[in-house]
Amino acid sequence: MSSESSTVLSPPGRFAGGVHPPEHKELARHAAIEVLPPPAELALPLLMHTGAPCQPVVQPRAEVVYGALLADSDAFVSAPIHAPAAGVVQREGVATLPNARHVKTIPLKVGPHQMAAEELMADMFGGEWPEDGIADVAPEEIVKAVRAAGIVGQGGAAFPTHVKLARNPKKPVDTILVNGCECEPYLTADYRVMVEAPAPVISGARLAARAAGAATIIIAVEDNKPEAIEALRAAAAGDVKIMSVPTRYPMGGEKQTVRVATGRTIPTGGLPLDVGVVVINVETAAAIARAVWRKKPLTHRVVTVTGGGIAQPKNILAPIGCRYADLVAFCGGLKPEAGRAIAGGPMMGFALGDFNAPVTKGTSGLTVLTAEDVRRAAETPCVRCGRCVEACPLDLMPTRLALAARHKDWNLAKRHHLMACMECGCCAYVCPAAIPLVQLIRMGKVQMMKEVGK
């Protein structure tokens, strides 16, 4: 252990509840990141982030180069979109995202001359990442570069990162928390990034801290990823604290990670910012480093294609806008026992109706489960065993919430704090009566908002 290396810290906090689903990370954890050859056409959704949709800034039939700006917005909470490959812009299209949202897209016919795979990998993750000189970069410059690169949270929520990093005198930030928990079963994309490219992750974390004015940098990784912890530790100096947190779903949920890594509790309905923390995903951190040091926009991301229904599970560096079908084909197709395809992981991911949806900036993976994996017992009456109450990481009473949602009893729902639910799904995972608890709660939240909330 060299003297300048970081040591691995134990977390100061904990959260109650949670579950331990079988991890199945072994399927893809050893698969080094491979570059997806650019498919013939990409479709870039104009809204793949939280906030205002973008407007195209290019006309159909325009020829664009790799990294060219395709769409932007004047709104503060938005993120521009860039070309992941050189090609010709097509007429505006429409795509259905896995969350069932219909969005306009800019289709891009990919040209014949593309960057070689090795070159792209080197550009994304390779080479030197400056350790010094961060103090010379003005915080506003970092925020501006992050905004210009179209960086959003790559952990799933896709919230524009520059909004989180911009300093707000009313809400000072003292901690940048890089989330490398990857608590969803099966997924290994973040793990591969941490193992293969710890340097840009650490550099990006430092830049984020500089931008937000945070003195403390913590990278939290679940203890089922010792190789990632070691890689980060070896690459980090003392200013970046590597923290090994217990492996328990939903450790990677923002509320849980912040509580465990800092001991602070985010108020219900609030943000990490309310307790002086900014949380960014490991790949987002790498994207920040790339945007600042190499002036490159967010055009590619690592996605895990895995599950018992996929012929060859892989971690793929994929251009934003490629279709799920391209990923499946690159992984040797589906196995006959495939039973459900999920955008994301099996706990919080969305089932896909077909493979035509495009990969977005927030896509972490494609999990294809077998029919056996997704077989569920028939629902039986609730016997009030309280398993869901024990499993809920937020101390809610899921069975009461589901009852309230089923009967549209919004007083009961309010009394049991329906709107505090973060929909992690632990309750439905453990329910001995196979009641779709979180599914009912999710529906109840939407209906209650419609009927009583304004």
- Verify binding: residue 410, other proteins, rule CB under 8 A: no
- Verify binding: residue 370, other proteins, rule CB under 8 A: yes
Read off the tokens for 156.
């799933």
- Among the listed residues 325, 409, 410, 447, the single contact to other proteins using CB under 8 A: 325
The amino acid occupying position 274 is D
Of the candidate spans 145-153, 166-174, 280-288, 438-446, the one that interacts with other proteins by CB under 8 A turns out to be 438-446
Q: The dihedral of CA 202, 203, 206, 207: what is its sign? A: negative
Question: Would you call the peptide bond into 250 cis, given omega within 30 degrees of 0 as the criterion?
Answer: yes
Distances, alpha carbon 193 to alpha carbons 289, 379, 452, in Å = 13, 40, 44
- Among the listed residues 342, 357, 359, 404, the single contact to other proteins using CB under 8 A: 342
283 backbone dihedrals φ, ψ, rounded to 5°: -75, -30
Residue 32 C-beta: closest distance to other proteins, Å: 4
- Contact between 211 and 297 under an 8 Å Cβ cutoff? The reply is no
Residue 283 C-beta: closest distance to other proteins, Å: 19
What is the C-alpha to C-alpha distance for residues 160 and 129, in angstroms, rounded to an integer? 23
Residue 310 C-beta: closest distance to other proteins, Å: 8
CB closer to other proteins out of 15 and 293: 15
- Contact between 331 and 310 under an 8 Å Cβ cutoff? The reply is yes
Positions 27 through 46 that interact with other proteins (CB under 8 A): 27-32, 34, 37
- Verify binding: residue 162, other proteins, rule CB under 8 A: no
Positions 72 through 131 that interact with other proteins (CB under 8 A): none
Of the candidate spans 89-97, 141-149, 154-162, 368-376, the one that interacts with other proteins by CB under 8 A turns out to be 368-376
CB closer to other proteins out of 41 and 72: 41
- Verify binding: residue 420, other proteins, rule CB under 8 A: yes
- Verify binding: residue 285, other proteins, rule CB under 8 A: no
Positions 170 through 199 that interact with other proteins (CB under 8 A): 185
- Verify binding: residue 26, other proteins, rule CB under 8 A: yes
CB closer to other proteins out of 26 and 140: 26
Chain-centroid distance of CA 1 in Å reads: 32
**Residue 65 burial (10 A CB sphere; 0-12, 13-18, 19+):** exposed
First to last CA, the chain: 57
Place of tokens 């009967």: 407
